[in-house]
Structure 1
Amino acid sequence: MNRIIALTAAALLGFAAPAAATTVIKAGHGTHTTHPTHLALVKLAEIVDAKSHGEMKIEIYPDRQLGEEREMVEGLQLGTVDMAVVSTGPLVAFVPELGVVDLPFLFKNSQHAYKVFDSEIGQGLLAKFETRGIVGLAWWENGWRSLTSKKVVKSPADLKGMKLRTMQNPVHIAAFKELGAAPIPMVWGEVFTSLSQGVIDAQENPVTIIYSNSLWEVQKYLTLTRHVYGPHVALFSKIAWDRLTPDQQKILTEAMIEATAYQRETSARLETEQLKLLADKGMIIEDVDIVPFQEATAGTAAAFKNIDPAVVAKIKAAAN
């Protein structure tokens, strides 16, 4: 009652009531501002701003401004980064069980992937981040990974000895060794220069990454192997999460559902559009028979103790 009287008196005297403090969330990612992940973070910020009536703001730091992906994840643990959306590349070092989603040719199509990530399988994997001081919020889409190279690749034999950049992901590295390539793990910030200087001959990434980073300038061929479905994982610092009120946590959780749908739709649309644009830029786009690639990498899972065969079986069964 005293607070109401004080506020009324302040209004009568011409003083404005004190404004509610604004909660600022710093969110980082490693892609360009044209990538669907950045666009979805912009959408998320708009939704959160509207739902909180301006009391919550998300500041977005694209293109590794808050560090390389592993550095951002470490920042989440330390509380120096509030939120990050990263590829699975560095995450296996924090949650080894996550390696299962990086197995080659695991998912039949995007709908299969969405079904798995939104099910108890995907949510269970996100829950494992909590013991690492991180809150797993959602699975976004980086896209289907394919190969770019300086020479044509039509079969695994064409990869023999090829210096191919991969993420710092042991599952990806093992798969490309089985294909006969010489995989070189490398942070993304070094890739374009390494391709232009001949340090590496090839790399693999989704179409949206290939286009937004102008890789047509240093790579002639794009081979649509679609060997791995690449998720982006939306993560939040547990330290920062615990500073939010229950209402703020609810706002962010609900907004994430809407932003996730938007992100996936945008990713699929841009992949189709940008494939055409890459061809216009002069890249030679090759469709190949993926069966030899599937056969060559069939044993990848067996090399990893943290990949549960039962989980692999559940994921494959979800395609039916």
Structure 2
Amino acid sequence: MKRNVVLVLLALTMAAAPLLGMGQAAAAPKIIKISNGLNEKHPVLIAQGEFKKIIESRLPGKYEVQVYANSQLGDDVRATEGVRMGTLEMVNTTAAPITGLVPEFNVFDLPFIFSSEKEADAIFDGPVGAKLLALLEPKGLKCLAYLENGFRQLTNSVREVKTPEDLKRLKIRTMQNPIHLAAWKALGANPTPMPFSEVFTAMQQKTIDGQENPIPTIYLQKFYEVQKYTTLSGHIYSPFLLLINKKLFDSFPPEDQKVFQEAATEASKFERQLNRKMNTELVAELRKAGNIVTELTPEQVALFRAAVKPVYGEWVPKIGPQLVAEFQKAAAAAK
């Protein structure tokens, strides 16, 4: 009798073994890849390390967040399309790749619409920012958070730039963005769209004279090695958008969605603080490296603002006068 019981138990154990293996396979963590075009030392990548830590600690064993730098998974345009189509889970991108889908996002590219980080925060963390993000969802994208790219500054290898007159005939790399192109043409430069990954070599080979990006990007990409002059023009404030495929996000249990949202919000706050601290420190480092850094006076900034005024006349009707007015009202209230 005892022998029969042992045989039955052994048979049950052997029968259950494949099922146990199936359970273990099903419990493998879901891989979440995040594409970035930035250097791994950039505040955004550091903040995504925090995002990863929060997700994996609060939802142990359920998700593995993999952060990719330097356009390893493709440039922002390709990666954003991958997230839309569901072939990639997440991307950190500027607004540029989505303006074709949601034209309202062009509002971020209007030159000098922000004059401080405080104004930008008022938009991102308020109802106007939320209204914009809601427009992404019918396009298959869910934005978990705005992160900070920052105020874009000008560098070049030819001469110090203090007024629009100094920009004449300078070949400046820009993003493939119609407002950016219009703004630089209005300022007298020769804007040249180019993938970010090609910029350093193009400046090194004198294919272009300069480029424009926030200070952390300028320093961490070592653009100062091939650019002698930096002008703190602050002409455009550029956010990053932390995007996830909408269907994927909707497939998560509600408690997991909550953790992803909380992790993104915490990472965003962390990144903005770090980016602003680094911005101040790296301007000093640029000077130490021999870069000639020019700070514009209010009178000089006024000249740049006046030169790009026609851009507003062309683009505000396309973006939506009401949205632009809401932006300007919220920014003014934050001053």
| TM-score between both structures, scaled by the size of structure 1 | 0.92
What residue in structure 2 maps to residue 284 of structure 1? 292
Q: Cα deviations across residues 177-210 of structure 1 (Å, max 9, x unaligned)?
A: 1111111111101111111111110110000100
- Residue 103 of structure 1 corresponds to 110
Aligned length: 310
What is the CA-CA distance between 1:302 and the residue it aligns to? 2.2
Pair 1:166-2:174 in alignment: yes
Shift of residue 131, structure 1, vs aligned partner: 1.8
Whether the 8 Å contact between 2:133 and 2:142 is mirrored in structure 1 is: yes
SS of 1:228 mapped into structure 2: strand
Match of 1:219 in 2: 227
The yes-or-no answer on 1:45 pairing with 2:56 is no
**What is aligned with 2:310?**
299
User: In proportion to residue count, which structure has more helix?
Assistant: 2
Show the counterpart of 2:132: 125
Residue 91 of structure 1: CA displacement?
2.2
Residues 229-277 of structure 1 show CA distances to partners (whole Å, capped at 9, x for unaligned) of 1101111112322332222211101111111100111110111111111
CA-CA distance at 1:108 after TM superposition: 2.3
8 Å CA contact 1:138, 1:233 repeated in 2: yes
Structure 1 runs (4+) deviating above 4 angstroms are: 16-19
RMSD: 1.9
In 2, Cα distance between the equivalents of 1:91 and 1:159?
A: 29
**CA distance in structure 2 between the aligned counterparts of 1:127 and 1:136, rounded to whole angstroms:** 8
Residue of structure 2 in register with 1:314 after alignment: 326
Match of 1:245 in 2: 253
Whether 1:203 and 2:211 are equivalent positions in the alignment is yes
In the alignment, structure 1 residue 72 sits paired with structure 2 residue 79: yes
1:96 Cα deviation from its structure 2 partner:
1.2
Greater mean alpha carbon deviation, residues 25-34 or residues 234-243: 234-243
Q: Is residue 88 of structure 1 aligned with residue 117 of structure 2?
A: no
Whether contact under 8 Å (1:195, 1:202) holds in the other structure is yes
Deviations, residues 122-165 of structure 1 (Å, cap 9, x unaligned): 11111111121111221100111010011211100011121110
Letter in 2 for 1:195: M
Report what 1:23 is aligned to: 30
Distance (Å, rounded) in 2 between the aligned partners of 1:21 and 1:196: 46
> CA offset at residue 53 of structure 1?
2.3
% same residue:
38
TM-score scaled by structure 2? 0.88
